[in-house]
């Protein structure tokens, strides 16, 4: 009996320990949450940034783009992150004006499992019709027409999509909406949609796992997952009529093509952009920060980090299979960061 | 053995030393404090549960107002258009849990009986321990193990075999994806087994040996003694263990959503993909954008609560009708 | 049935139970084997002592996640265990008509609520008013999962203690509370511990409720009212990433988690060793 109470007492004491402050004098901890897609590159950045500014620690956790939007709107975190831009409704609901700051880019690839691992090419409308359930077999004439030299089995296509709401899905269906009016009408765009056909896998790894293990599958995943899982990535026809392979360079080219018509708030869809070498299914991922920062010290740290991220930080993404921002876009983001204020005064001194 | 546990009673001698009146008052005070603590605990649980239900009702009010009873009987789940119907999820939850229990209960009870009665003494603690450790495996690990090990096994071996032997039943028709209701039921049964086994084993061990000895003395075989004396005596505890397992099955999210295919459709076949209420909650809650969407998801959480209530009530009714109020230790 | 037939049935059933026990242990060995095969290479001293590192950098660890998990489980247990045990004893002993029935029903229902719902509840009740994620909120969510499991298993175990024990205690002049605390609960001790261990194992592995409450932290926490790391969260973040290095760390983390629960279970059993009824 006594032993049980003393055990409990020890547990209570342990719980009351107010956590070890990190080495050196007390650092400032900045908390952020949101999209899962950029988690690896953000964790790399925050680790590197400690060398740049040892006084600050950035803690980022992936809880989903929707979670990121909700938490920054509730002000439970210092910054949010999202793969899909906030809607007008969501922006209106936030207590103050929020900025979208693009950080890196990602591509969504069509991946598949066929004997012999042929390199396939698709057009947007063929993909849309497969996901609408109108094209059901690999041996369909339209797929054959695009891939005359590949041996396509007379097998049903096992369509795989995401079951969880995600920015990856948003990019994918956004592209399909632009290409296929029928998709736009029947399904529409969102982080979660009513899929006409197919199995749902949880997360990029769920879809990758399903495609990897089931012959005849077709799914969509972020580029990094296709590469690390050694899954084939299909070439897709872009707006200029070229069949482009999804790579880091073609992803960056997608934004470069759209740089001229970039809206000032960066809430832009980069799918199906102009440009010969642009991969058509790509997107930014954004950090969400308040225009007017509630805390001066935190605000200063935030803008200094953002500045570093779009300049020095851009040498890290490609090693982790993300695409860096193209130079013209970086210039426009610089102007945006300079607009972040505290009590009306811009936080970033002339840099 | 009763004498051993009465060792604490020696304290009574010390209590009778002070005058009777003082000791009685001290006892009454102790009783009052004890009773207060107990009642505080009870009311804490009830208040928290009430708070939970209230929070769920509050958040789901918008969806309830928008869809009413339609929510329960339509199958259309369209976040983009703002149309939500929960029937496929209800079906998926009930079917996957039923499947899980059908597999888990006989296995767990069998294992519990083995561990409590038949196993040699040196096997019991390590095996019992191992089974308890199954409960510690994180849900996400079950899911990933499911994707990498269980699903390929089902797709390449089990489902084709079932299709050739029992394929005339609508239960085993359709393409063998591997992923689907069968995978979900199997994973759930593995997750539920440690609860039922561990608790059942304790229940069986707690049955007084006199019960077993009496039956054996009357000429029963080992199994008959177990069935007549031990199982009946511990019936309430065993039912409690099974309900614990059922609770886990109904509410499990991560592992199920990774192997069930997440297709909001009702199908007769176990090979087909499905979707459960807990899964859709886990999948879509963090990304839900509009207020109506969030509200519909919370309503699903509320519905799950209601279903748990109904299933529990049904189970208790069943127990009552079979053998009267099952009580051990009170006779 | 002839005696010989009855014996045959008995032996047959014994064989079946043995088969059942084997089948039950099978998945455990498979899963453990899977984890060992995938993750053993990632376990080294660094893993236990260091903070997480980005992809590709060696020497990353889950030290803060281990500490975080221990702290939040400690919080959950500190509140949840007494409430659960007292509630369970109440249910087993009370002669009232309605309140015990209601409590039992509520506990059974709470057992079926998905853990993510508790997380959302703790988010609404703790995180939003405090305007930050915290270890406290995480502890609350875990405690809410712990209580109904402990409550029901305690009830069933106490119920099985022969009433003769209670009558004897009362007959000797002991007050009610002493009988309950010093006689009945120790008598049901083994079963209560099992229920507690099963609940502990459950909350040690829970991810979903912590997503909205503790959030997770790549560094050491700076107080109970700040975001804090936890093993299941770290495992989840690594498992869903595309990198093999992180996958190995996820499996290694799962091994560490199970081992820690194993050790806690061992410690609890050793600490409360003693005789109880009917053994």
The 3-state secondary structure of chain A reads CHHHHHHHHHHHHHHHCCCCCCCCCCCEEEEEEECCCCHHHHHHHHHHHHHHCCCEEEEEEECCHHHHHHHHHHCCCCEEEECCCCCHHHHHHCCCCEEEEEEEEEEEEEEECCCCCCCCEECHHHHHHHHHCCCCECCCHHHHHHCCCCCCCCCECEEEEECCCCHHHHHHHHHHHHHCHHHHHHCCCCCCCCCCCCEEECHHHHHHHHHHHCCCEEEEEEHHHHHHCCCCECEEECCCCCEECCCHHHHHHHHHHHCCCCCCCCCCCCCCCCCCCCCCCEEEEEEEEECECCCHHHHHHHHHHHHHHHCHHHHCHHHHCCECCCHHHHHHHHHHHCCCEECCEECCCCC
Q: Are residues B9 and B82 both part of a single domain? A: no
Measured between alpha carbons, how far is residue A4 from residues C81, C149, C200 in Å? 11, 19, 15
Same domain, B99 and B240: yes
* C274 → chain A, closest CA residue: A1
> Is B249 a member of any domain?
yes
Q: What pTM, to 2 d.p., does this model score? A: 0.80
The span from the CA of A202 to the CA of C208, in Å, is 14
Residue B115 resides in a domain: yes
Residue B286: CB atoms within 10 A of its CB come to 27
Q: How many CB pairs under 8 A join A and B?
A: 94
**Angstrom distance (rounded) from CA B307 to CA B304:** 5
Range of the domain at B182: 70-323
Q: Determine, yes or no, domain membership for B149.
A: yes
Band the pLDDT of A268: cuts 50, 70, 90. Answer: confident
d(CA C45, nearest CA chain B) in Å: 22
Q: What is the ipTM of this complex?
A: 0.82
- Expressed in percent and rounded to 5, the helix, strand and coil fractions of chain C are 75, 0, 25
What is the number of alpha carbons within 13 Å of residue A73 lying toward its C-beta? Answer: 16
Residue B79 to residue A193, Cβ atoms within 8 A: yes
Q: For residues B190 and B146, give the distance between their C-alpha atoms in angstroms, rounded to a whole number.
A: 11
Query: Do residues B30 and B93 share a domain?
Result: no
B64, part of any domain: no
Q: Which domains does chain C have, with CATH numbers?
A: 46-278 (1.10.3720.10)
- Does a structural domain hold residue B219? yes
Q: Are residues B214 and B260 in the same domain?
A: yes
Residue of A nearest to C129 (CA): A76
Q: What is the mean pLDDT of chain B?
A: 82
Cβ contact B147–A213 (<8 Å): yes
CA-to-CA separations, B220 to A225, B225, B226, in angstroms, rounded: 63, 6, 9
Residue A57 touches chain C, beta carbons under 8 Å? yes
CATH of the domain at B175: 1.10.3720.10
Per-residue pLDDT 10s for chain C (279 aa) are 788 888 888 888 888 988 998 888 888 888 888 888 888 887 887 788 788 887 767 777 888 899 999 999 999 999 899 999 999 999 988 888 898 989 988 998 888 788 888 888 888 888 888 888 889 999 999 999 999 999 988 998 898 888 888 889 888 888 888 888 888 888 888 888 888 888 888 888 888 888 888 888 888 888 888 888 899 888 888 887 777 788 888 888 888 888 888 888 888 777 776 544 433
Name the helix (H) or strand (E) containing B83.
strand B83-84
Interchain proximity A190–B80, CB inside 8 Å: yes
Express each pLDDT in A158-192 by its tens digit.
999 988 778 888 889 999 999 999 999 998 888 78
Q: Tell if the CB–CB gap between A67 and C81 is shorter than 8 Å.
A: no
Same domain, B133 and B38: no
Domain presence at residue B81 = yes
User: How many beta-carbon pairs below 8 A join chains A and C?
Assistant: 125
Neighbouring chains of A at 3+ CB pairs under 8 Å are B, C
Structure tokens at A204: 């990029």
**Same domain flag for B13 and B146:** no
Residue B217 and residue B119 share a domain: yes
Cβ contact B31–C175 (<8 Å): yes
In a domain, B331, yes or no: no
- Structure tokens of A205? 């790894």
Chain C residues whose CB is inside 8 A of the A61 CB are: 211, 215-217, 227, 233, 237
Flag whether residue A50 sits within 8 Å of chain C, measured between CB atoms. Answer: no
**Residues of chain A with C-beta less than 8 angstroms from the C-beta of C227:** 31, 59, 61
B117-120: long-range contacts, CB 8 A cutoff, minimum separation 24: B117/B204, B117/B222, B117/B226, B117/B230, B118/B222, B118/C14, B118/C17, B118/C18, B119/C21
What angle, rounded to 10 degrees, do the helices at B87-113 and B235-251 form? 140
One-character DSSP codes across B228-260:
IIIIHHTHHHHHHHHHHHHHHHHH--HHHHHHS
* pLDDT number for residue A177: 93
SS3 (DSSP) at C130: helix
**Could you tell me if B186 and B259 lie in one domain?**
yes
> How far is B308 from A213, CA to CA, in rounded Å?
35
User: Would you call A61 and C81 a contact, using CB atoms and an 8 Å cutoff?
Assistant: no
Assess C49–A contact: CB distance below 8 Å, yes or no: no
In whole angstroms, what is the distance from residue C263 CA to residue C271 CA? Answer: 12
User: Which residues, listed in sequence order, are joined to residue A122 by a DSSP beta bridge?
Assistant: A236
Q: Do the Cβ atoms of C200 and C261 come closer than 8 Å?
A: yes
Asked if A18 lies within 8 A of C223 by C-beta distance, the reply is yes
Q: Does any domain span residue B62?
A: no
Q: Distance (Å, rounded) from C-alpha C79 to C-alpha C77?
A: 5
Residue C149 has its nearest CB partner, among B16, B55, B244, at: B244
Q: Are residues B50 and B84 in the same domain?
A: no
Whether C215 contacts C241, CB under 8 Å = no
Do B113 and B218 fall into the same domain?
yes
B26 and B141 within one domain:
no
Q: How far apart are CA C149 and CA C91, in angstroms?
A: 13
Query: Is the pLDDT at B4 greater than 90, yes or no?
Result: no
Nearest CA in chain B to C29: B130
* Number of domains chain B contains: 2
DSSP tag of B171: G
Chains that touch B (3 or more CB pairs under 8 A): A, C
Contact state of A44 with C182 under an 8 Å Cβ cutoff: no
**How many angstroms away from the CA of A141 is the closest CA of chain C?**
34
Cβ distance of C254 and B137 shorter than 8 Å: yes
Contact across the interface for C277 and B149, Cβ inside 8 Å: no
Specify the higher pLDDT residue, C129 or B320.
C129
Residues A103/A117, Cβ–Cβ less than 8 Å: no
Q: Measure CB to CB from residue A76 to each of C133, C186, C211 and give the nearest one.
A: C133
User: B159 and B41: one domain?
Assistant: no
- Which residues of C fall within a CB distance of 8 Å from B110? 16-17, 19-21
């Amino acid at each position: 009996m006594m032993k049980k109470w003393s055990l409990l007492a020890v547990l209570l004491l342990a719980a009351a320990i107010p956590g070890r402050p990190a080495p050196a004098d007390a650092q400032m901890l900045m908390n952020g949450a949101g999209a899962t897609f950029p988690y690896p590159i953000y964790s790399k950045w925050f680790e590197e940034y400690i060398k740049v500014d040892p006084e600050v620690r950035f803690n980022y956790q992936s809880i989903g783009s929707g979670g990121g939007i909700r938490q920054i709107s509730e002000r439970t975190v210092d910054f949010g992150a999202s793969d899909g831009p906030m809607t007008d409704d969501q922006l209106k609901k936030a207590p103050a004006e929020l900025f979208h700051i693009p950080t890196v880019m990602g591509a969504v690839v069509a991946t598949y499992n066929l004997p012999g691992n042929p390199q396939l090419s698709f057009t947007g409308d063929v993909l849309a019709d497969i996901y609408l359930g109108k094209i059901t077999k690999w041996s369909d004439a339209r797929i054959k027409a695009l891939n005359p030299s590949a041996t396509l089995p007379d097998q049903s296509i096992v369509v795989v999509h995401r079951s969880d709401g995600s920015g990856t899905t948003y990019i994918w269906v956004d592209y399909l909406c632009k290409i296929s009016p029928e998709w736009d009408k029947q399904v529409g765009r969102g982080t979660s949609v009513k899929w006409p056909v197919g199995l749902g896998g949880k997360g990029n790894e769920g879809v990758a796992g399903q495609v990897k293990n089931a012959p005849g599958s077709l799914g969509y995943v972020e580029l990094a997952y296709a590469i690390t899982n050694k899954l084939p990535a299909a070439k897709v026809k872009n707006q200029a009529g070229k069949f482009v392979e999804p790579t880091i360079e073609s992803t960056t080219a997608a934004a470069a093509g759209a740089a001229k018509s970039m809206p000032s708030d960066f809430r832009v869809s980069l799918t199906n952009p102009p440009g010969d070498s642009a991969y058509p299914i790509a997107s930014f991922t954004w950090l969400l920060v308040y225009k007017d920062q509630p805390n001066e010290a935190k605000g200063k740290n935030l803008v200094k980090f953002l500045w570093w991220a779009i300049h020095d930080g851009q040498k890290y993404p490609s090693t982790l299979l993300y695409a860096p921002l193209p130079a013209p876009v970086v210039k426009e983001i610089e102007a945006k960061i300079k607009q972040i204020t505290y009590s009306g005064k811009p936080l970033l001194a002339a840099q | 053995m009763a004498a051993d546990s009465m060792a604490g009673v020696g304290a009574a001698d010390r209590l009778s030393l002070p005058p009777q009146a003082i000791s009685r008052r001290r006892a009454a005070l102790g009783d009052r404090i004890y009773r207060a603590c107990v009642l505080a605990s009870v009311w804490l649980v009830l208040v928290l549960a009430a708070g939970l239900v209230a929070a769920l009702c509050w958040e789901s009010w918008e969806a309830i107002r928008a869809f009413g009873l339609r929510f329960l009987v339509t199958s259309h789940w369209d976040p983009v258009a703002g149309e939500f119907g929960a029937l496929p999820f209800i079906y998926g939850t009930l079917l996957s849990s039923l499947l899980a229990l059908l597999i888990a209960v006989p296995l767990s009870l069998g294992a519990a009986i083995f561990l409590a009665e038949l196993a040699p003494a040196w096997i019991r603690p390590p095996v019992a321990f191992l089974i308890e450790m199954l409960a510690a495996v994180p849900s996400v690990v079950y899911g990933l193990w499911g994707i990498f090990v269980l699903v390929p096994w089902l797709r390449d071996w089990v489902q084709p075999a079932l299709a050739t032997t029992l394929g005339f039943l609508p239960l085993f028709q359709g393409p063998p994806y591997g992923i689907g209701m069968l995978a979900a039921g199997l994973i759930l049964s593995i997750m539920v087994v440690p609860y039922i086994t561990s608790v059942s084993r304790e229940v069986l061990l707690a049955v007084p040996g006199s019960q077993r000895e009496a039956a054996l003395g009357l000429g029963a075989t080992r199994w008959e003694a177990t069935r007549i004396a031990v199982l009946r005596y511990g019936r309430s505890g065993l039912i409690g263990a099974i309900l614990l397992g059922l609770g886990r099955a109904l509410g499990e999210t991560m592992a199920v959503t990774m192997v069930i295919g997440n297709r909001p459709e009702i199908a007769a076949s176990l090979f087909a993909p499905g979707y459960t209420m807990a899964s859709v909650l886990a999948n879509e809650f963090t990304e839900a954008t509009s207020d109506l969407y969030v509200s519909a998801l919370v309503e699903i959480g509320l519905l799950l609560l209601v279903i748990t209530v109904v299933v529990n009530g049904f189970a208790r009714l069943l127990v009552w009708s079979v053998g009267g109020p099952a009580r051990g230790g009170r006779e | 049935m002839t005696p010989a037939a009855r014996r045959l049935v008995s032996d047959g059933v014994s064989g079946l139970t043995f088969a059942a026990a084997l089948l039950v242990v099978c998945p455990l060995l498979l899963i453990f084997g899977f984890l060992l095969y995938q993750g053993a290479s990632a376990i080294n001293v660094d893993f236990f002592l260091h903070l997480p590192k980005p992809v590709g950098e060696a020497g990353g660890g889950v030290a803060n996640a281990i500490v975080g998990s221990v702290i939040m489980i400690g919080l959950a247990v500190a509140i949840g265990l007494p409430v659960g045990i007292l509630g369970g004893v109440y249910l087993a002993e009370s002669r009232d008509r309605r309140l015990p029935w209601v409590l039992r029903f509520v506990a059974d229902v709470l057992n079926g609520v998905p853990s993510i719902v508790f997380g959302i509840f703790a988010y609404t009740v703790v995180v939003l008013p405090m305007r930050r994620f915290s270890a406290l909120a995480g502890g609350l969510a875990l405690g809410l999962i712990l209580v109904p499991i402990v409550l029901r298993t305690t009830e069933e175990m106490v119920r099985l203690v022969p009433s003769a024990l209670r009558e004897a205690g009362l007959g000797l002049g002991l007050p009610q509370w002493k009988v309950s605390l010093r006689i009945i609960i120790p008598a049901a001790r083994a079963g209560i511990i099992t229920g507690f261990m099963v609940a502990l194992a459950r909350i040690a592995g829970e991810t979903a409720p912590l997503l909205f409450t503790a959030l997770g932290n790549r560094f050491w926490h700076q107080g109970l009212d700040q975001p804090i790391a936890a093993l299941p969260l770290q495992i989840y973040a690594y498992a869903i990433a595309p990198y093999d290095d992180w996958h190995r760390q996820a499996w290694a983390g799962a091994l560490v988690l199970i081992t820690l629960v194993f050790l806690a279970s061992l410690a609890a059993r050793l600490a409360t060793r003693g005789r109880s009824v009917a053994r």
